[in-house]
Amino acid sequence: MPAREPDARDWKVVERPPSLFRRFEFESYARTRAFLDRLAGLSEETGLFPDLGFGSKHVNVTVYGTNGAQPDTAEAQFAQRAAALAEEEAT
């Protein structure tokens, strides 16, 4: 079965404050760290810097909309790309 394309719809839409949330689980600290490093690169590239909370085998990512608005296309694309990075670390 082919891998499914990561989708921003896999993220939880939070009303207050307006944001997208997702928790990513990894099999080891090394994979968690690699994901965080790659996510930092994505942030530098896009100019979007989500809130992160993490432990040795998980990362919680919250992407906020601009100026308190609902997340828009840029945030949804960031979410999709972040999910793709996590998927690459999981394989």
pLDDT by residue for the chain (91 residues), tens digit each? 344 444 566 899 999 999 999 999 999 999 999 999 999 999 999 999 999 999 999 999 999 998 889 999 999 999 999 999 999 988 7
Domain residue ranges of the chain, discontinuous segments joined by +: 8-90
C-alpha–C-alpha distance, residues 51 and 62, integer Å: 5
pLDDT score of 8: 61
Helix, strand, coil % over all residues of the chain, rounded to 5: 45, 25, 30
Tokens for 52, please give them: 């992160």
Residue 79 has a CB neighbour count (10 Å cut-off) of 24
Report which secondary-structure segment, H or E, holds 62: strand 58-64
What pLDDT score does 79 carry? 95
Q: Assign a CATH topology to domain 8-90.
A: Gyrase A; domain 2 (3.30.1360)
